[in-house]
Amino acid sequence: MPWRGPQEEGERPTLGWYVLDWMMQNLAQPGRDVDDPAPFLPTQEQADFLLKYYEVDPVTGRRVIHRGLLSRPRGWGKSPFVAAIALAEACADVVGSGFDAYGEPVGRPWHSIRTPLVRIAAVTEAQTDNTWLPLLEMARGGSVAADYGLEVLDTVIYLPRGEISPITSSATSTKGDPACFASLDQTETWTAANGGVRLAKTMRMNAAKLGGSLIETPNAYTPGDESVAETSAAAYQAIIDGRSRARGILVDHREAPPETDLTDEQSLVEGLRYAYGDSSDHPGGCVLHDPPCAPGWSPIERLTSEFWDTSNEPQDLRGDLLNQVTHAADAWLSEPEVRASSDLGREVKPGDRIVLGFDGSRKRSRGVTDATALIGCRLSDGHVFTLGVWEQPDRLPVGPDGKPVEWQVPVVEVLAAVHEAFATYDVVGFYADPAKWESHVADWEAAYGKRLQVQATRNHPIEWWMTGGRSTLIVRALEKFHTALVEGELTHDGSSALVRHLCNARRRTSRSGLQIGKAHPDSPHKIDAAVAAVLAWQCRLDAIAKGIAAEEEEMFGGSF
């Protein structure tokens, strides 16, 4: 029988309800006295995650998600929660197998298909203890051991068929290990240097071969570390942006709002309460539900005091306790700064007076081709918005010879976007870095140069080099943009590409001052939209200096 269909708006078929009941009936709450066990009770947040993680296809009844990422601050309860999921994967009916006579999803246990192997993975043995120790308590304190015939030892749990065990990146037997489920803890610390990248790749491939799944439980990662958590978040963003056709990835990341002020106690408490959600012990409960839920276990007042301790690094506190993805050591802008300056509610309308910024590329002999970006900025309020960003997809199409087809910027689409911008808005200025686009910039100057009220130079009204002997002008333009964004003088539309490129930009010191660049020349993390935004902002400043903005103010009666 097919799925019964949604009983309320947005409902999807899921085994999550069954898994929730199974956990509460069979597992003990870790951290309790062994003589006074209590059933494991997932929070509302955790229940919401389970419903999504165990979603099944409404036609086939098979599991939809094969790769999850649950990102919360330290102390939220990620490790015990994922330990409960590991025990469910080992024993419960979690393999989607259709629908019952009432149209409800049903499952069967892994041992009915193959020998279930469940792995608790980390890069060090101490790190595996985060999940392994509460898992042992859950198994020993609840009824699961007796009811499912588990032999619970300190270093392994034997199932009647299969086992649950910890594993680290130093293990030599992970390749080919047929684990139906794996937990990957603290993947913000998993890098190529400590074997974490290789371990994660191996665990994903192992799960894929038999239709299994895994869950990462990182804290906020540091951009530029190229950790497993960072690459997983990037893979999910590529799906959202339409740059990847991958499916089955669930990312549940929540962080304190970007405007959280570390120097203001009320703002800090509210930020912590939001980040910790249902685990917040604030008397008013968490701030995610209406009415608020009951207080949890995370000591918000105690955590607040950590921010007053001058021996702590603010960036570490933002990542560990506010769960904010901040910035690399040499980042030009932090992600909270970029997010705080976004204003998704501002609408740029046809006919608005704007300026444009452009940075382009063509192709590379190796690595990922740089992006091409066209960014606008409204004169009246300095709102920066994205008109087009063209980026190489994560996976290139394969040609008849079986080799990936080389990707190039779709020049016709770019030219059409520029033409449409001039047709839609009142464009009074256009600055473009002509590198590799010299002929097209020359065509734009011929077509639009005479109508531009602000011009880069008399002979070349659009050409504005971001390289070469103009380093002093470049440094000043970058400094003005940086100050405007941090001080709230400009807003932007929060587009994924613009935010990513701004956060990807790295500080580079030159003789003339601070410039920006990619993390390294062949980095796949591009900054072209950031460069185009800087050019658009500089064009706006030059327009204001010429009095062009004042002309618009008179036209609209001083309404801005």
**CA 260/CA 246 separation, integer angstroms:** 34
Q: What is the pLDDT of residue 175?
A: 64
**39 phi/psi in degrees, rounded to 5:** -70, 150
Q: What is the pLDDT of residue 176?
A: 64
Helices (H), 142-264: 144-148, 196-210, 228-241
Q: Length of the chain in residues, anyone?
A: 560
Say if residues 382 and 491 touch (Cβ distance below 8 Å): yes
Q: Which two tokens stand for residue 362?
A: 């063509």
Number of H helices, E strands in the chain: 17, 17
**CA 314/CA 320 separation, integer angstroms:** 10
Q: What is the DSSP string of 523-542?
A: -SS--HHHHHHHHHHHHHHH
Partner residues linked to 516 by β-bridges: 507
Q: What is the pLDDT of residue 306?
A: 94
List Cβ neighbours of 417 (8 Å cut-off, separation of 6 or more). Answer: 374, 387, 388
CA 154 to chain CA mean position, Å: 36
Torsional sign, CA 307, 310, 314, 320:
negative
**CA 466/CA 539 separation, integer angstroms:** 13
**141 phi/psi in degrees, rounded to 5:** -85, -20
Instruction: For 412-459, write each residue's pLDDT tens digit.
Output: 999 999 999 999 999 999 999 998 899 999 999 999 999 999 999 999
Please give the order of strands across the beta sheet that includes 157-158: 151-152, 157-158, 163-168, 117-122, 181-185, 213-217, 67-71, 249-253
Of 102, 139, 277, 117, the closest CA to residue 206 belongs to: 117
pLDDT along the chain (560 residues), means of 10: 86 96 96 79 95 96 95 94 97 96 95 94 93 95 95 96 91 71 95 92 89 94 86 84 82 91 93 93 69 80 92 88 84 90 94 96 69 96 96 76 79 96 97 94 96 94 84 93 96 94 91 87 87 97 87 44
Q: What is the pLDDT of residue 469?
A: 66
CATH superfamily of 64-93+114-253: P-loop containing nucleotide triphosphate hydrolases (3.40.50.300)
Say if residues 186 and 126 touch (Cβ distance below 8 Å): no
Q: Quote the Cα angle for 104-108-114, to 5°.
A: 155
Say if residues 309 and 299 touch (Cβ distance below 8 Å): no
| C-beta neighbour count of 169 within 10 angstroms | 19
**CA 275/CA 308 separation, integer angstroms:** 19
Q: What is the pLDDT of residue 313?
A: 86
The listed CATH number (3.30.450.20, 2.60.40.790, 3.20.20.60, 3.30.420.240) that belongs to domain 339-555: 3.30.420.240
| C-beta neighbour count of 355 within 10 angstroms | 28
Say if residues 518 and 331 touch (Cβ distance below 8 Å): no
Instruction: Report DSSP state, residue 224.
Output: T
Amino acid residing at 73:
P
Q: What is the pLDDT of residue 291?
A: 63
Q: Quote the Cα angle for 275-279-280, to 5°.
A: 70
Instruction: Report DSSP state, residue 289.
Output: S
Q: What is the pLDDT of residue 297?
A: 87
Q: What is the pLDDT of residue 287?
A: 66
Q: What is the pLDDT of residue 129?
A: 95
Say if residues 492 and 498 touch (Cβ distance below 8 Å): yes
Q: What is the pLDDT of residue 556?
A: 44
Of 378, 382, 336, the closest CA to residue 355 belongs to: 378
Say if residues 55 and 13 touch (Cβ distance below 8 Å): yes
Partner residues linked to 14 by β-bridges: 55
Q: Which two tokens stand for residue 383?
A: 């709102």
Instruction: For 153-162, write each residue's pLDDT tens digit.
Output: 999 999 999 9
Domain ranges of the chain: 64-93+114-253, 265-326, 339-555
